[in-house]
A and B are shown apart, each in its own frame.
Chain A
Amino acid sequence: MSSVVLFVVVALAVPMVVAECGEVSPWLARKVLGWAARRLRPPDKAERYTEEWLADLEEVPGKLTKLGWALGVAFLGVLRLREPKHSLDWTPRPVASPFATDSVFGPASAQPARVIPQQTAPHPPAIPSVTRSLEPVFPEPDYLPRRRAPEPQPWEPPHPGSRFFQRYYDNWGNTVHVRRYAYDEDPEVVYGATPKAAPPVIGD
């Protein structure tokens, strides 16, 4: 079966595809050249280069060669023949229409706004970060608040008088209750609090 398929592909399909590509290539080359010429700027170049390139395309021998030649002209020629787009004109010009900041006293000037010096608090004296052992260490001035991280403290319950502790066992470990799921089963002794989603305890 595979040899039959291979024979059909090699002996029939491949020549048909090659022949079809050869027949389509000149048409495709002309389309490529027309498309490429229409990409040129300014647009009046399109008609001229379309006719010129199509005339030169007829001089190119072969069929697939025509397509390759057209692709080369399209990619190389169009990129270099295409004039760049006109960029935006950023030349400064005087504004003809009244501006929002103009007033009855005249148009707004381009002078910079008056800078009001800011009142800044005197900087506190620098505290030496490194102190030598033999030098006297002055106490920190009281006007400089120091934010220190709180010292790590041993854990305390949120309410000292309550029975909440850090570990679950400390809270509910000594709580014993019995739950039974059915009357004919042995009761189950559970250590700990009754969970909220637990099934109802029967016969408690």
Chain B
Amino acid sequence: MDIPPFRVTAATLDVLEALLGPDDQLYGLRIAENAGRKTGSVYPILARLEEAGWVVSAWEQDEPSARGPRRRFYRLSPDGLGAARALLLHHRGAIRQRTAPAVRGFAPQPAPEWRGWS
């Protein structure tokens, strides 16, 4: 695996997992919610990823008069998609789905013996 041109932290991996989700309209606040991180730390990570070419961003294409300021949507570039998957598999061994806001603290989960029944 190539060494990424930025510092890989746990927050960076969380942001990459959020970007790998199925949601196609990911903006800064949504990515921060999905990653379970502070918004102030997610924007610099997105800037570093965009500078490295792993992430591309584009302005919202809706009617400009409908809303005030436009949102900025982020998605992984084709090169960044494979690199992000390789980086997550290297560091965490798996890729978690981060579509819903991350639950902090106790999260109800089924008992181990009940898994696979449904």
List A residues at the B interface (Cβ < 8 Å): 48-56, 58-60, 69, 72-77, 80-81
- B43 x A81 contact (CB < 8 A): yes
**Distance (whole angstroms) from the CB of B54 to the closest CB of chain A:** 17
User: Is B44 on the interface with A (CB-CB < 8 A)?
Assistant: yes
Q: How far is the CA of A51 from the CA of B69 in the complex (A)?
A: 5
- A77 x B44 contact (CB < 8 A): yes
- A51 x B39 contact (CB < 8 A): no
- A58 x B68 contact (CB < 8 A): yes
- B47 x A54 contact (CB < 8 A): no
Q: How far is the CA of A72 from the CA of B28 in the complex (A)?
A: 14
> In terms of DSSP, what is the predominant structure of the interface of chain A?
helix
Q: How far is the CA of A81 from the CA of B48 in the complex (A)?
A: 9
Residues of B within 8 Å of A, CB-based: how many?
Answer: 18
- A56 x B28 contact (CB < 8 A): yes
- A55 x B68 contact (CB < 8 A): yes
- A48 x B72 contact (CB < 8 A): yes
User: Is B38 on the interface with A (CB-CB < 8 A)?
Assistant: yes
- B68 x A54 contact (CB < 8 A): yes
Q: Contacts A56-B27, A80-B44: A69 and B69 contacting too (C-beta < 8 A)? A: no
Could you list 16 A-B pairs, sorted by A, with CB under 8 Å?
A48-B72, A52-B27, A52-B28, A52-B69, A53-B28, A53-B43, A55-B60, A55-B67, A55-B72, A56-B28, A56-B29, A56-B71, A58-B67, A69-B39, A72-B39, A76-B41
- A55 x B43 contact (CB < 8 A): no
**Distance (whole angstroms) from the CB of B107 to the closest CB of chain A:** 22
Q: How far is the CA of A48 from the CA of B72 in the complex (A)?
A: 9
The 0/1 profile, CB within 8 Å of A marked 1, for residues 54-72 of chain B is: 0000001000000111111
**Distance (whole angstroms) from the CB of A65 to the closest CB of chain B:** 12
